[in-house]
A and B are shown apart, each in its own frame.
Chain A
Amino acid sequence: HYPHPQNSNHKLLSTVDNVCLGSPFHCLTDINFVFYSTLKPSLQILMWYDRSNRGSEPFVTGVRGQVPPLVTTNFLVKDQGNASPRYIRCTSYNIPCTSDMAKQSQVPLAAVIKPLATLPPEETLPYLVDHGESGPVRCNRCKAYMCPFMQFIEGGRRFQCCFCSCVTEVPPHYFQHLDHTGKRVDFYDRPELSLGSYEFLATVDYCKNNKFPSPPAFIFMIDVSYNAVKSGLVRLICEELKSLLDYLPREGNMEESAIRVGFVTYNKVLHFYNVKSSLAQPQMMVVSDVADMFVPLLDGFLVNVNESRTVIASLLDQIPEMFADTRETETVFAPVIQAGLEALKAAECSGKLFIFHTSLPIAEAPGKLKNRDDKKLINTDKEKTLFQPQTSFYNNLAKDCVAQGCCVDLFLFPNQYLDVATLGVVTYQTGGSIYKYAYFQVRTDQDRFLNDLRRDVQKEVGFDAVMRVRTSTGIRATDFFGAFYMSNTTDVEMAGLDCDKTITVEFKHDDKLSEDSGALLQCALLYTSCAGQRRLRIHNLSLNCCTQLADLYRNCETDTLINYLAKYAYRGVLNSPVKTVRDALINQCAQILACYRKNCASPSSAGQLILPECMKLLPVYLNCVLKSDVLQPGPEVTTDDRAYIRQLVTSMDVAETNVFFYPRLLPLVTDVDSDSLPAAIRNSEERLSKGDIYLLENGLNIFVWVGVNVQQGLIQNLFGVSSFSQISSDLSTLPVLENPFSKKVRSIVDMLQVQRSRYMKLIIVKQEDKLEMLFKHFLVEDKSLSGGASYVDFLCHMHKEIRQLLS
């Protein structure tokens, strides 16, 4: 057993628990500032505490309503009937029994679900259950899948659904006797009776057109316009693909990947390639009728990599040569997606398009765009248009893609505005990913791009997926956030779903819950595996219910809460002015905290700011969300950046939002011999020493900050130059030097890169250099240049809001 947060060591946290401030709120003087700043809760300490207390023992999921360790803590999970927190995390593990209570607290009830999450090698993958032709056993009424919470009755002849209470006959082939406790005798033999997560092999009834699917296909679609060729991008992609194609995802024990590949290049027109294995040379087929896209060939477009190896190699060798002298600068975009979609349709399979694109598609074609970037719109009512697509064409296209199971991954290499908000629509709605490399240069960006590409191609992925979240009576899923498409209110459709994609689901009450039975979630994901097998992945989670608000506040998880709030706010900017969204966020948090103050905290003076144990960090995180580029852009943030980040955050999991909003700042000049990461420090300039080197990461970038007074020896060791002034700030990697310090720093960087789903861009920042402005933007506890509040100021502000609500 392990200590629960609510029973945690008060002595250690006494300085940060129940922040008490004696001075009246109306005179926020320097003295107050000192008070707040010394007493503001530190997330670094909390993380360290959680890590040291809960990282040592595995998290066993057998008990209902347990709060898992923080996402920053390394821990193992043992599945004993509930889904691992790697798959599902909730804002609260104790749900108010009534909707009134929920409304009063204003604590959102949400689950962050990552159905295909990667597990550490020590944990076992969900077992695959094959029930043969009859398929998985399901409740007759609500169609919930067999799970550990189903109650077998009448000696095992029937079972009562844990979600809707309906009683269903047990099919004869599934019958088993019960033991004296009412458990089935085969309880431990059957994953679906004993585990929180498992998979069923789907029958033909679960397939499109009642036909088992063919293996999916990957289509690589490369922009070969002037910019792409000249920057060396085309050559780079072709070179990389030659080796990368050997690492296509494959099902566990298979020798080679079942995925077929196809190639398209394009500028104003599209070039398809016939790479049939019997050909001596690949054949190029140009389609210039972009207004009415079609696939010019069937046989030979999608091929097995091994069979067509030489033809593909020849093609990839020749593509950069063929377009070496191109002078075509215009590109099309929508026809490219249409082409991929049509190709998958013709091949009757699902799949993924990898589109490498460089510019705003202004060539005459469907989905043609114009440059509508206008920074003047910021802070006006029209700001929302910057996040909306400029035409509905792409929404319709996305719908068609989803219907076919055509997922679109987009790699963007813009040198100027290319309207990510519009180009990303299809990617976003098909469950794809966008990668953006502004001002791409092979020398500095190739590592990042190639690592992203490798990971994106190799990662585990499912296709043509439908996710349904079922809940026990009393609550139901009402809202969904993430990269997907919904044609009705319950089914989350994703043309593709990879191991990094996360869906945040919000729940609302529709009835009373009881403390006894608790609340259950079942997330069922129907998808086609990379080998073309139709499967169902089931995740179950049981939660407690409470009648006391204190129980709710004791079982919350701030990281998850922030994940939900950020996604909620980021969706809000599509429809409301950014200021409204920001105010609503502040207001909701103030209400949450005020409710706690009013109902749970011991009586104290109104001048005291009292935060619940589990939400101590809510203000600091919330401030980070409010200061983020989407909600409060700095002058250097482009419209495309904002649209990109908005979409990116929408499918982030809890760990990613955590570090994205509050970056990790690590001092590098520490004990060189230690294996572990140095302890993080607060993101504030006052914590930086001129004589030290620091590392800051937020999931997208890694900054290495070098103080002006750093010892020459350290500089020599890390950068291989003799003085501070000689450090080049356009390094994209640290030089490989044979000394302990260099090794240590590089190993830290590598360790961080491995943890993230995207390869982070390394930026060297010298103190008092131009780039430092950019770096300071991420020192989130400080006042930001764009007007974002410092932690202390924001804490003051929150306190004021709470007191207003209480009075």
Chain B
Amino acid sequence: MATYLEFIQQNEERDGVRFSWNVWPSSRLEATRMVVPLACLLTPLKERLDLPPVQYEPVLCSRPTCKAVLSPLCQVDYRAKLWACNFCFQRNQFPPAYAGISEVNQPAELMPQFSTIEYIVQRGPQTPLIFLYVVDTCLEEEDLQALKESLQMSLSLLPADALVGLITFGRMVQVHELSCEGISKSYVFRGTKDLTAKQIQDMLGLSRPAVPIQQGRPLQTPEQPVISSRFLQPVHKIDMNLTDLLGELQRDPWPVTQGKRPLRSTGVALSIAVGLLEGTFPNTGARIMLFTGGPPTQGPGMVVGDELKTPIRSWHDIEKDNARFMKKATKHYETLANRTAANGHCIDIYACALDQTGLLEMKCCANLTGGHMVMGDSFNTSLFKQTFQRVFNKGFNGEFRMAFGASLDVKELGIGGTSQWKICSLDPSTTLAIYFEVVNQHNAPIPQGGRGAVQFVTQYQHSSTQKRIRVTTIARNWADAQSQLQHIEAAFDQEAAAVLMARLGVYRAESEEGPDVLRWLDRQLIRLCQKFGQYNKDDPNSFRLSESFSLYPQFMFHLRRSPFLQVFNNSPDESSYYRHHFARQDLTQSLIMIQPILYAYSFHGPPEPVLLDSSSILPDRILLMDTFFQIVIYLGETIAQWQKAGYQDMPEYENFKHLLQAPLDDAQEILQTRFPMPRYIHTEHGGSQARFLLSKVNPSQTHNNLYAWGQESGAPILTDDVSLQVFMDHLKKLAVSSAS
């Protein structure tokens, strides 16, 4: 058997699944003793070039409470044309279409390599995709211009039959009618008044008058598409019209007096967008794309008043319970997000402003609906422009890499019942963390040698408007934790575990306060080390961890310092933004976020990954750091001097020119693929932007111990944070301590 490392990798590639434990403890008590919960990271729509979808319906277990999908794990009786559900053991007849089935003539879903399979099903009418732009007009002239251009450009990227709509807002909220010729028409709403969905639909003329049913008269076919088409129109029909409309968009005309913020009715605008889609296209793939350039300043969902002298809430205010509008605003957006999710729609937030825009309050809109959250300084930056363009990136088939209105079913054997989640929007990298509970009691463990199975059923609307179902069925061995602990230990996936723990930690941080989370995280780490470490009691030096655990404490060290758990130096909006992305990226990206990658470029050899440590910062090196959100290129002291001297322009130093260019090329490559676009920082030794690097590296050398080390390697960091070495020493001490 291949190593677990290979097994894990193969599984991830095939099924998009990574479990914290690849051998499962067989009872609830044992599972809790493992410290790291039994959980998995699932990328439901992982791109599989080698997986052509099949064009028929999946075969379901006939037991109404089960309805599991036929999979390679099922027992099949080819003669009797029966199959046994591996979840509920119900024996099922194959449908008539499977009459020709035999050992040599198997349908794809029974073949082991199709543990993940995708079905295209024909159910209900196909509805077009819907994109509803919700645009803030309280922007600076050039910002608005840039945004308008981006929006106009986006029209050409949409599928021709997709429906688009436009809502603009400032002091008022305008819903634009797109079908009219000549006079452009919009419905205007007060930005201070929250309206119910029914009111909004009435006011937009979307609610059909109740037609009394008359006998002897055939019922008229509902004309809903006709009605709603006033606001949502196929791109191909109105792109000229809409391009002009966007072109004519003016800044919010209401005067803003000195010392005031513009009145921005984001809360009502979103509410109207949600109400509009709710009334017209429930349960179809729709994106509400909010573009905002500042905080909501009036009406429901306001985050800050319009007086400039009162700044927007900071973490300090929140801790002091001084954020006046936060609770009410959060509630408003949560209600909206829940309604949106119930309708199967999603909300994207593109917030571009130098100050905060209220992402903290609005984050649930994106988080609960699977929408994007993008934060930038201005709409007139390549960061926004390219990120936005990337939203509409086409896959290898010329299809959008986005899916809508997905629902995920998880079926497991021996553990809990079925669970369902609704994810309104998915993209190929969206990764969910699913935490399992082993329900068997300690005295009735799963019998030895058994295999646990989990089936993930993801139903979604593909961007080609097809309805699709992706089924992933996986199985893992059960093991008794007492007698087979080494098996379980060896099957530990420390990378997945780190990300899964981090996600739990972030979840806790969102609901609890910061220091408590760190303490909880530390305690979990100590318990894990106690359980799986090899040591003599009270002898820190004897402490060893096996290979499958060796990196885990380091991940935790960096996680503790990460912006996902530390709010110091971050605004509430930034924290919300970082956490939002952390909760949806796949394992590799998540690990980068926890522990940024550092590459070194020098004349001493080819580029190499180096330790994320202050000792890696050397004068004759160029460093490239990728934190997911930032790409930092840092020129060491000597390199920077050379560059200033202009060596790169001299033909005889062409190799220096190449050295300078190499990290730029690598950074470009990352920039090309990453969503959202990272902030690109080019700095050098002593540069102010170097702080991005210095704040991430392990402070092995600080102003406190610099002279103790007494050597010229690396750069000292001005911090009181503990270094990894100190952290490890403490960990060892605590893990081996008999007192705990």
- Would A286 and B185 count as touching, CB distance under 8 A? yes
Determine if B172 is an interface residue (Cβ-Cβ < 8 Å).
yes
Q: Inside 8 A of A271's CB, which chain B residues have their CB?
A: 185
Distance of B207 from chain A, by nearest CB (Å): 11
Number of interface residues of A (CB under 8 A): 27
With contacts A296-B172, A298-B253 taken as known, whether A289 is within 8 angstroms of B193 at the C-beta atoms is: yes
Interface SS, B side: mixed
B182 interface hit (Cβ, 8 Å): yes
Known A298-B254, A322-B183; contact A288-B190, beta-carbon cutoff 8 A = no
A271 to B195, CA, bound (A): 20
A284 within 8 A of B: yes
B172–chain A nearest beta-carbon distance, Å:
5
The proximity string for B residues 96-132 relative to A, scoring 1 for CB distances below 8 Å and 0 otherwise, is 0000000000000000000000000000000000000
Q: Assuming A288-B202, A288-B205, is B190 touching A281 (CB within 8 A)?
A: no
Docked complex: A561-606 residues within 8 A CB-CB of B:
none
Interface residues of A in 394-416 (CB under 8 A from B): none
B186 proximal to A (CB < 8 A)? yes
Q: Which residues of A contact B248 (CB under 8 A)?
A: 279-280
Contact present for A292 and B190 (CB under 8 Å): yes
> Shortest Cβ distance from A285 into chain B, in angstroms?
5
User: Is A324 in contact with chain B by the CB < 8 A criterion?
Assistant: no
Interface residues of B in 200-221 (CB under 8 A from A): 202-205
Q: Does A300 contact B (CB under 8 A)?
A: yes
Q: Which residues of A lie under 8 Å from residue B254 when comparing CB positions?
A: 298
Contact A289 B203 (CB under 8 A): yes
Contact (Cβ within 8 A) B253 A286:
no
- Inter-chain CA distance A287–B255, complex, in Å, is 21
Contacts A269-B203, A288-B202, A289-B189: A296 and B174 contacting too (C-beta < 8 A)?
Answer: yes
Question: Measured between C-beta atoms, what is the minimum distance from B171 to chain A in Å?
Answer: 9
Q: How many A-B residue pairs have CB under 8 A?
A: 65
| Residues of B close to A292: CB separation below 8 A | 190, 193
Cβ of B253 and Cβ of A299 under 8 Å apart? yes
Q: For residue A300, which residue of chain B has the nearest CB? A: B253
Taking CB atoms and an 8 Å cut-off, the chain B residues in 240-263 that contact chain A are 248, 253-255
Q: How far is the CB of B306 from chain A (nearest CB, A)?
A: 17
- Identify which of B184, B189, B205 contacts A284 (C-beta below 8 A): B184
Q: B187 contacts the other chain (Cβ, under 8 Å)?
A: yes
Give the Cβ gap from A30 to chain B, nearest Cβ, in Å: 67
Bound-state Cα–Cα, A683 to B184, Å = 58
Instruction: Determine if B203 and A288 form an interchain contact, defined as CB atoms under 8 angstroms apart.
Output: yes
Give the docked Cα–Cα distance between A362 and B188 (Å).
23
Q: Are A283 and B184 in contact (CB under 8 A)?
A: yes
Q: Assuming A296-B172, A298-B253, A299-B253, is B186 touching A286 (CB within 8 A)? A: yes
Which A residues lie within 8 Å of B253 (CB)?
297-300
Q: What separation, in Å, do the CA atoms of A768 and B203 have in the docked complex? A: 55
Residues of B within 8 A of A282 (CB): 183
Most B-side CB within 10 Å, residue of A280, A281, A284, A300: A284
The distance from the CB of B213 to the nearest CB of chain A, in whole angstroms, is 20
Chain B's closest residue to A293 (CB) is B190
Does B188 lie within 8 Å of A286, measured CB to CB? yes
Closest to B250 in A: A299
Contact pattern, A 275-314, Cβ under 8 Å of B = 1, otherwise 0: 0000111111111110010101111100000000000001
**Cβ B185 vs Cβ A289 within 8 A:** no
Contacts of B186 in A (CB 8 A): 283-286
CA distance A273 to B203 in the complex (A): 18
Q: Which residues of B contact A299 (CB under 8 A)?
A: 253
Q: Which residue of A lies closest to B203 (CB)?
A: A288
Asked if A294 contacts B187 (CB within 8 A), the reply is no
Contact B184 A281 (CB under 8 A): yes
List B436-476 residues whose CB lies under 8 Å from chain A.
none
Near B by CB (< 8 A), chain A positions 747-791 give: none
In the complex, the answer to whether A286 meets B187 with C-beta atoms within 8 Å is yes
**A318 interface residue, CB < 8 Å from B?**
yes
A288-B205, A300-B253 known; A281-B182 Cβ under 8 A: yes
Contact (Cβ within 8 A) B183 A284: yes
Name the distance in Å between B267's Cβ and chain A's nearest Cβ.
16
A466 at the interface (CB under 8 A from B): no
- A315 on the B face (CB < 8 A): yes
Q: How far is the CB of B141 from chain A (nearest CB, A)?
A: 15
Give the shortest distance, in Å, between B529 (CB) and chain A (any CB).
62
Q: Which residues of A contact B190 (CB under 8 A)?
A: 289, 292, 294
For B174, the chain A residues whose CB sits under 8 A away are 285, 296
> Cα distance A280–B184 when bound, in Å?
11
Q: How far is the CB of B192 from chain A (nearest CB, A)?
A: 9
Q: Enumerate chain B residues within 8 angstroms of A296, measured Cβ to Cβ.
A: 172, 174, 188
B188 — which chain A residues lie within 8 A by C-beta? 272, 285-287, 296-297
Task: List residues of chain A with CB within 8 A of the CB of B193.
Answer: 289, 292
How far is it, in angstroms, between the C-alpha of A292 and the C-alpha of B185 when the chains are bound?
21
User: Which residues in chain B, 374-430, are within 8 Å of chain A measured between CB atoms?
Assistant: none
Give the CA-CA distance A281 to B189 in the complex, in Å.
22
A321 (CB) vs chain B CBs: closest residue: B182
Query: A406-459: which have CB < 8 Å to B?
Result: none
- The answer on a CB contact under 8 Å between B183 and A283 is yes
List, in ascending order, chain A residues with CB within 8 A of B184's CB: 281, 283-284
The CA-CA distance from A287 to B253 in the complex, in Å, is 17
| Min CB–CB distance B254 → chain A (angstroms) | 6
Residues of B within 8 A of A289 (CB): 189-190, 193, 195, 203
Cα distance A19–B255 in the bound complex, in angstroms? 75
Over the window 164-183 of chain B, the binary record of Cβ atoms lying under 8 Å from chain A Cβ atoms (1 yes, 0 no) is 00000000101000001011
A391 → B minimal CB distance (Å): 23
Write the nearest CB–CB distance from B156 to chain A, whole angstroms. Answer: 23
Shortest C-beta distance, B183 to chain A (Å), equals: 5
Which residues of B in the span 661-716 have a Cβ within 8 Å of any Cβ on A? none
Q: Give Cα distance in the complex from A305 to B203, angstroms.
A: 32
Contacts of B189 in A (CB 8 A): 287, 289
Q: Give the chain A neighbours of B187 by CB distance below 8 A.
A: 285-288
CB-defined A-B contacts under 8 Å, sample of 16: A282-B183, A283-B183, A283-B186, A284-B183, A284-B184, A284-B185, A286-B186, A288-B203, A288-B204, A289-B193, A294-B190, A296-B172, A298-B254, A298-B255, A300-B253, A322-B180
A284-B180, A286-B188, A288-B205 known, 17 other contacts, Cβ within 8 Å: A269-B205, A282-B183, A283-B185, A284-B183, A284-B185, A285-B187, A285-B188, A286-B185, A288-B187, A289-B189, A289-B193, A292-B190, A294-B172, A294-B190, A296-B174, A318-B182, A322-B183
B residues lining the A interface (CB < 8 Å): 172, 174, 180, 182-190, 193, 195, 202-205, 248, 253-255
The 6 A-B residue pairs whose C-beta atoms are closest, nearest first, are A288-B203, A296-B188, A299-B253, A284-B185, A286-B187, A285-B188
